[in-house]
Amino acid sequence: MSGTNMRSRGRPRLFDEDAVLDELTALFWRKGYSQTSMADLVDASGVHKSSLYSTFGTKEELFAKILQRYLAARMGMFSKLVEQAGPGIDGIHAFLEMLRGDLVSGTGQWGCLLVNSSSELSGTAPGFENFGVAFRKELRERLRALIRQAEPEVTANNSVTDQRTDLFMTFMLGLNLTVRGGADENEIGRVIDAMQATVDTWR
């Protein structure tokens, strides 16, 4: 975004930094942090090891960079989803429908990189534990706003909204594990249906 092509002197890169980061992200996403070796990253990207180090730093630094990048993109995606979803219960339904579409195909099938990483590294973490705190907080606030909108003004109640938000967050975490566990489209569908049925009781 800022001065990407203000290269001054010296030999230019033979690879596209963003494209490489995309590939490395996919690898970490699929295999997890500790199960992905530098050799794997080299093979996947075609970039030599020293170039990876000189460009992105150590494996830990690289992963931190990738996680940041991922979180930024994901938050943008969620924002768009929430935005497109519109207000009310129908909005939540629409949100879940989009989630369904994302989970059964493409990027969503490996779960959420942040959730996976947190789970994997929470027992031994160097500092990744609290990495996604801000992200989680922001996501929770947006979801809460969406849920709040859906409640009739008369019966609106903060603690109820909080509970529903907690349930929704927990549901999404569980869904992440379900998907990553290799659930097929039908199973994912049933789980989302179940949540939609629950959301309907919020009318």
**Residues found near DNA in the complex (CB under 7 A):** 8-15, 36-40, 47-51, 53-55, 58-60
Q: Using the rule CB under 8 A, is 23 a contact of a second copy?
A: no
The rounded Cα 92 to chain-centroid distance in angstroms is: 18
**Which residue among 81, 113, 118, 135 contacts a second copy (CB under 8 A)?**
118
Residue 144 token pair: 């809460």
Whole-number minimum distance, CB 15 to a second copy, in Å? 25
* Choices 3-11, 13-21, 56-64, 176-184; region in contact with a second copy by CB under 8 A: 176-184
Nearer to DNA, 47 or 191 (CB): 47
Residue 71 token pair: 């979180």
Q: Using the rule CB under 8 A, is 124 a contact of a second copy?
A: yes
Please say whether the beta carbons of 38 and 49 come within 8 A: yes
Nearer to a second copy, 35 or 68 (CB): 35
Largest CA distance in the chain: 66
Please say whether the beta carbons of 100 and 188 come within 8 A: yes
Residue 32 binds: one of DNA, a second copy, none (C-beta under 5 to 8 A by kind): a second copy
Please say whether the beta carbons of 86 and 94 come within 8 A: yes
Q: DSSP code of 153? A: T
Q: Using the rule CB under 8 A, is 172 a contact of a second copy?
A: yes
Residue 154 token pair: 């008369």
- Which of 129, 143, 141 shows the shortest CA–CA distance to 91? 143
Whole-number minimum distance, CB 156 to DNA, in Å? 50
CA distance 175 to 193: 12
* Footprint (CB under 8 A) of a second copy, residues 181-200: 181-182, 187, 190-191, 193-195, 197-198
* Footprint (CB under 8 A) of a second copy, residues 45-84: none
Nearer to DNA, 11 or 137 (CB): 11
76-94: burial string, b at 16+ Cβ within 10 Å, e else: eebeebbeebeeebebbbb
Residues contributing to the site for a second copy (CB under 8 A): 30-32, 34-35, 110-111, 115-116, 118-120, 122-124, 129, 160, 162-164, 166-167, 169-178, 180-182, 187, 190-191, 193-195, 197-198, 201
